[in-house]
Structure 1
Amino acid sequence: MMSWFKKPTLEDQLFDLKFTSKQLLNFSKKCEKEEKAAKAQLKKSIQAGNMDCSRVYAENAIRKKNEALNYMRMSSRIDAVAARVQTAVTTQSVTASMRNVVSGMSAAMKSMNLEKVSNLMDQFEKEFESLDVQSQVMEGTMSNTTSLNAPSNEVDSLMRETADEAGIELDLNLPSGVTSTIGAPSATVPAEEQDLSDRLARLRQS
């Protein structure tokens, strides 16, 4: 019997938040359709020259447009709150006051009291100001430890070290990188050998 009246967990309330966010988004889409319908009626009414009805249809279209925007904003805000609750659960940083606010929000959403939900979200966001700072620190740490790009100076150093071990002269400023290998014929002639070659050439000419 007691299990029937079990107090909802934070995970249960997190589910309620996500469900309500989707429900409000559906309400927004419904209002958008009604806005389009009112605009179509407005067009027909204007073409018929009925200005009184046209004004009513125009008011309906504007009202539905505003309702759609309000539902969408509320859905987005609740979705953001749900993401913060998920972060709090994951990092085990949920406080008692946060639980109370979420519990009250869950009850208000069931009655679709959006004004009360909005007020509770204001309170909830204040509770999460410190958590936001903690999340930013955690995200920064994770970003540093999971970075796929190694520092370029370390890459260059390793490349040069490996080239030295392989007996390869490496110039990272050149497109190919490799300039010569140890034991391979040199592309440049030493100065002494060049001087000797010049002397032999002059002797042959004389």
Structure 2
Amino acid sequence: MLNNLFNSVFADETQSTLSVGLFLLCILIALVCGGIYVAAFSFRARGSRSMRLSLALLPAAVCVVIMMVNGNVGIGVAVAGAFSLVRFRSAPGNAKEISVIFMAMCSGLIVGVGYFAYALLFSILMGGLLMGLTAFGEKERNRDRARTLKLTIPEDLDYTDVFDDVFHAYTEKTELTAAKTANMGSLYKLTYRVVLKPTVSEKQFLDDLRVRNGNLEILLARAEENERDL
């Protein structure tokens, strides 16, 4: 049963026979594959509407081309000649867009030769991999903007909420990881782990903090470069 599921639906068909029902089924499977790529491409990303539309329809278009050629050399040459006349005038895409387009074309090709199960399996695997890499890349970007912030403030300054508005303006995430006294209790040394917003100025961030802490010592370093205090 499982072997039959992964066989081509055209295995018992002659080259001149293609029923309307089978044709529509191929188109439907190709559109499902396109929908998988649209969902994966849109995961935590703001893709253009035209790109999503292209990904949804591209597998079906490739599928029809493959079904019409179906081993006929003459038709294959004619299709290649027709495509050579088409000039694609569009802005160059990034690596992610080009990769997804190729994957969508591969799924359409697999559907076109009748391997529905393989096409769906390939689309699900590639879509899941794309979503996983997108999520991992987002974590990497956040890690690049992660900083360790060390502030020195006078003892009469309540550090629980005095910097809240500054952190809200310059950071996406803030966590107080340590607080200790210094200089016979006259100073507090605070350690924060922060994730800066993508377009903020670190200098302006430090300047606003200096206004609040009375121009005492401030250290801003990459999180992985944080050293243990002795």
Same fold, TM-score > 0.5, yes or no: no
Which structure's residues are more often helix, by fraction?
1
| Structure number with larger C-alpha Rg | 1
* TM range, smaller chain: under 0.3
Q: Using CA pairs below 8 Å that are at least 6 residues apart, which structure has the higher relative contact order? A: 2
| Structure-2-length-normalised TM-score | 0.25
TM-score (norm 1): 0.28
